[in-house]
Amino acid sequence: MTSLMRVSLVALLALTIGAGAAPSYAAADPHPVQSFVPGVDDEVTLARAWQRWEEKGIDDYVVTVRRSCYCLPEKPVRTVIRGDRTVRVTQGDRRLAAERGWSMDELFTVIRDAQGEADTVRVDYTRRGVPKAIAIDRSTMIADEEISYTVSLSRL
């Protein structure tokens, strides 16, 4: 075997191994946003907030969500949405899978689910219908299981 062949085989092997080492989501197609549509049983404030958000017609935005609970501190998750598709999710310097991001529709779904299951749910909305603060207490009889989300949004 010649030196050139050996170098070529080593390079090919390195490229093959390196290609398999990359996370599958690093070059994945954008992830579609799961649409939220208020139902007849949803709370009026949720439906009105969603209506205000939809009326704005914002399809391209960045949403940053900070989760707070009685758990280890986490950095906020920053999600870039373009045309109802999650195109980038980061937490600090780390890139995350698109499924770990947040869209406005997913935040409205979290609120709806919590309102149907938790003892207490408090939501502060902006005039555009963005839930800027969400506090969920799943059981008032259990201490330290509360969770809250702080949301900030900017348009692209």
Give pLDDT tens digits for 36-68. Answer: 888 888 899 999 999 999 999 999 999 999 999
Average predicted confidence (pLDDT) for the chain: 84
Domain that holds residue 103: 29-155
Distances (CA, A) of 39 to 47, 83, 108: 8, 23, 12
Please say if the pLDDT value at position 6 is more than 60.
Answer: no
Query: Residue 87 falls within a domain, yes or no?
Result: yes
Looking at the domain assignment, is residue 105 inside a domain?
A: yes
In a domain, 103, yes or no: yes
Q: Is residue 83 part of a domain?
A: yes
Instruction: Please tell me the total count of domains within the chain.
Output: 1
C-alpha neighbours within 13 Å on the C-beta side of residue 100 = 14
What is the pLDDT at residue 29? 56
pLDDT in tens, 62-86: 999 999 998 888 999 999 999 989 9
Asked if residue 5 is part of any domain, the answer here is no
Please check whether residue 68 lies inside any domain of the structure.
Answer: yes
For the chain, the residue count is 156
CA–CA distance, 56 with 79 (Å, rounded to integer): 19
What local confidence, expressed as pLDDT, does residue 8 receive?
A: 45
Residue 21 pLDDT more than 90?
no
Which residue in this structure is represented by tokens 């075997």? 1
Alpha-carbon separation of residue 108 from 8, 71, 94 (angstroms): 54, 23, 25
CA pseudo-torsion sign 26, 93, 146, 123: negative
Reported pTM: 0.77
Is 23 within a domain? no
Mean pLDDT to the nearest integer, 124-136: 97
Q: 4 pLDDT exceeds 90?
A: no
Residue 34: its pLDDT value, please? Answer: 81
55 lies in a domain? yes
